[in-house]
Amino acid sequence: MILTGLIIIPLVAGLSAWVSARWNSALPRWISAAAFAVKLMIVVMIWASGGAAYAPGPSCQWLLEVRHDWIPQLGISFHLALDGLSLVMVGLSAFLGLTAVICSWTEIREQVGFFHFLLMTVLTGIIGVFLAVDLILFNVFWEVMLVPMYFLIGIWGHENRIYAAVKFFIFTQAGGLAMLAAILALYFVHGNQTGGYTFDYFELLGTSIPARAQLWIMLGFFVGFAVKLPVVPLHTWLADAHTEAPTAGSVILAGLLLKTGGYGFLRFVIPLFPEAAAEVAPVAMALGVVGIIYGAALAFAQNDLKRLVAYTSVSHLGFVLLGVFSRNELALQGAVMQMVCHGISTGALFILVGMVQERIGTRDLNRMGGFWASAPRLSGMAMVFALASLGLPGMGNFVGEFLVLIGTYQVSPWMAVPASAGLVLAAAYSLRMMLRAFFGPASPGQSLVDLTRREAALTAVMAALIIWLGVHPQPILTTVARPVEKLRVHAMTVAPDEMRSTPLNFSARDFGSRTLPTGAEP
């Protein structure tokens, strides 16, 4: 019931927000904020009651699970499950959903109810993606994310919003269709082998697929997730979508939609296709390294402040791809940590960019300068998140990137060494941003109003969270320990010797095992 509630709450709140705008334009904001606050409290309660109790071991508990028949004739069910990995991503969704509502409090002035309905619908799809363990249900939620985000960009975006919205939709829809074809292929292969046709994740785990067929099916999933992450060269929609989206749209895009790609690699590609994943791992890792360096170089070259922040996502999420396909426990933990911290730090940067644009009407770095004198609090927050973006020790991003690099080095030093150049390039574009916008002489006629109390409270919470994750990341790492350990077990069946640290046994059903019997050892 709790998992179903996590899906229903934002959908009902979105409809209520849309209807309530007829009487009071402020009601949609309060309804949406209250819904996300409730969701965040639910996640905290789940985490406090057992979500942080994971310890390394071969078993992977599912904290909560719900299953109802949907179309049993086709093997389709409404099947949701929550483990440590899902819990962390749902918590991130609730937190960033709340920040998106707060940061758009004064920015969105037209069709406020419809805006919040679309925002809540996007979050419904995202949370569904993190919880669904029936592949058709997963695909339904995957598609639910697209249409409302298209309208968020197309209606409330900036000058070239229609072009950006259409480009976003075409790229992501094409990736979704490739993934749907792969889901159907897996369905028929499993059915031909066992006589039972099902889309259930637990039943599909361990399906014996011929090597060449496994590679092609896996590539369908890979393309769908690679577009969303995004992976070079499938990244070209990202900068346009970010640049033209309203601030809340950019926060959701960077903080959550991109993470569905990384989550898909972790949840589906490695467990379902371990041999094929091992076969493409060198290419995938190389694409991750290319993304790290190429994204950072593009970010350094930008004069549009929002476009600069957008390209940093290509670079930072290259670490996620590198960590996932290193298939090393440290690298996998780093990939999860990077997804969480990137969502917070880059989301905060987009919020700050939106504040600057709302105040002075431009994102052009050539028309900025000297903002520290007139807006020291806003400039100080920008400095905090710029330092997080460049991977300063003591910030959460450093933990994620450091773990990815250490884990990757154990598997392939030739990949880890060039990837580390991303840290140097991150320092270059982050410090260039600070120098051009906030230091130096002020541009003629440009003066920035400092943060309001609402804005200061929002950015202060995000700053405190990114620092807490940098100083004490263990709660996140502990929560995802068993899912990550299970991924390592899958990878060990075909992994190089460096990853075979302990002999572990597993079965497909064990990956989805429920609560351990009382007194049983993990």
pLDDT tens for each residue of 9-21: 999 999 999 998 8
Residue 35 has pLDDT above 50, yes or no: yes
Q: Is residue 393 part of a domain?
A: yes
Pick 95 or 494 by higher pLDDT. 95
pLDDT tens for each residue of 254-290: 999 999 999 999 999 999 998 898 899 999 999 999 9
Residue-level pLDDT at 121: 94
Indicate the residue type of 56: P
Q: Report the alpha-carbon distance of residue 462 to residue 348 in Å, rounded.
A: 7
Q: How far is CA 313 from the centre of its chain?
A: 11
Average pLDDT estimate for 54-74: 70
Q: What b-and-e string marks burial along 254-280, b requiring 16 or more CB atoms within 10 Å of the CB? A: bbbbbbbbbbbbbbbbbbbbbebbbbb
Residue range(s) defining the domain that contains residue 372: 276-495
363 bridge partner residues: none
Tokens representing residue 376 in the block: 């020291």
- What is the pLDDT confidence band of residue 486, given thresholds at 50, 70 and 90? confident
- What is the pLDDT confidence band of residue 50, given thresholds at 50, 70 and 90? low
Q: Is residue 66 part of a domain?
A: no
Pick 30 or 109 by higher pLDDT. 30
Residue 485 has pLDDT above 60, yes or no: yes
Q: Is residue 154 part of a domain?
A: no
Q: Is residue 357 part of a domain?
A: yes
Residue 236 has pLDDT above 50, yes or no: yes
Q: Is residue 300 part of a domain?
A: yes
Q: Is residue 224 part of a domain?
A: no
Total domains, the chain: 1
Torsion angle of the four alpha carbons 247, 253, 256, 259, in this order, in degrees rounded to the nearest 10: -150
> What is the chain's length?
522
Q: Is residue 217 part of a domain?
A: no
Residue 62 has pLDDT above 90, yes or no: no
Pick 500 or 406 by higher pLDDT. 406
Residue 331 has pLDDT above 60, yes or no: yes
pLDDT tens for each residue of 97-131: 999 999 988 888 888 889 999 999 999 999 999 99
Average pLDDT estimate for 166-172: 93
Tokens representing residue 254 in the block: 């960077």
Q: What is the mean pLDDT of the chain?
A: 86
Residue 519 has pLDDT above 60, yes or no: no
- Residue matched to tokens 């949907």: 70
Tokens representing residue 477 in the block: 């790492």
- Kind plus residue range of the DSSP H or E element containing 66: strand 64-71
How crowded is residue 521: how many other Cβ atoms within 10 Å of its Cβ?
7
| ∠ CA 201-204-206, rounded to 5° | 120
Q: Is residue 509 part of a domain?
A: no
C-alpha closest to that of 198 among 208, 183, 213: 183
Q: Report the alpha-carbon distance of residue 392 to residue 422 in Å, rounded.
A: 13
Cis, peptide link before residue 475, omega less than 30° from 0: no
